[in-house]
Amino acid sequence: MTIDESFEKQIKTIFRPLNTATLPEPASFSMALKKNIPKKGKYGDVGRATISCFGTAAVDMWHRSVHSFLISVALADVSPVWASVSGYYSSHYSVRGLAHLLGYFYIHKEGIIVRVAADKGANICAFGKRADFKQIANLQHKGEHDIYWTLVNASNVFSGDPLFTKNDPYKDESDSRHRNHANYADNIRDYPIFNPPDRESLKNKIDRISKISFTDPRLPDVRKFPDTETVQLLAYHRLVAFRTVLNNTLGGENNFWNVHRNPSFARDYTNFQLSSETSLLG
């Protein structure tokens, strides 16, 4: 991950108007973008308030990532299937949040990708179909998940980072393939007795995950399903990466991020630390 000058400037521009801790109403961002789809051409002025929603949407996605990670760890021993699914979604929400920080939003129903076009002026966005973004990445025939993972992987910031792959659903070693197996494969059969962990046990599990370090992360392998430990390890490092991006670019200067960087629902379980004490990956 390399935070270049243009990425840092874009984040600061997006977050500058966010002086309160308030999140917008649900789906208000996508509705605002829909209203601004240009009738002619591909560029439109969406206004300063809507531009700032790239930031609030990113942070909301990150909160979903953290919450999904807690659920995944809590279910690891009692439901490997749902621990795998929620662990995947933790990773996906982090990736989608990073895509929003990069200035992208996919309006699903209309099939339109929106991109912040700072080079065209303040508050200007480009609107286009998937084929219109072929100079950035091949998005033809890709769904919502693939679009966000591909855009993040294709960016200058994350293209060389092994945490942020294209997430190819047809490879055995793939976040998406592992999730699809949990969702759709028949005769999985792995259904332990349901004994949910207590608060202290959950905290200890997360603490252990946070102390695992790796320089060359492997991806979840469907041939080793349920590869829950790998799913959770990747999810944790991805959500910490999102937090690191905003910590490094905004520091303590933005009130909105200062409030939301330590979500209340996670405070008893993690401080988002990373450590190099042990390694599972080889």
pLDDT of residue 276: 59
pLDDT of residue 135: 82
Q: What are the residue boundaries of the structural domains of the chain, listed by start? A: 5-186+194-266
Q: Give me 88's structure tokens.
A: 């995947």
pLDDT of residue 47: 95
Average confidence score pLDDT of the chain? 92
pLDDT of residue 35: 96
Residues 6+ apart with CB under 8 A from 241: 1, 94, 98, 161, 163
pLDDT of residue 279: 39
CA pair distance 200, 40, nearest whole angstrom: 57
pLDDT of residue 98: 98
Q: How far apart are the first and last CA of the chain?
A: 21
Per-residue pLDDT reduced to its tens digit, 131-171: 998 888 889 889 999 999 999 999 999 998 999 999 999 99
DSSP state letters, 206-261: HHHHHTB--SSPPPPBGGG---HHHHHHHHHHHHHHHHHHHHHHHTT--HHHHHHS
Sign (positive/negative) of CA torsion 165, 168, 174, 179? positive
pLDDT of residue 191: 84
CA pair distance 171, 206, nearest whole angstrom: 28
pLDDT of residue 282: 31
pTM of the predicted protein model:
0.93
Q: Along the 282 residues of the chain, how does pLDDT read in single tens digits?
A: 889 999 999 999 999 999 888 899 999 999 999 999 999 999 999 999 999 999 999 999 999 999 999 999 999 999 999 999 999 999 999 999 999 999 999 999 999 999 999 999 999 999 999 999 888 888 988 999 999 999 999 999 999 899 999 999 999 999 999 999 999 999 988 788 888 889 999 999 999 999 887 777 889 999 999 999 999 999 999 999 999 999 999 998 899 999 999 999 999 999 999 875 433 333
pLDDT of residue 277: 44
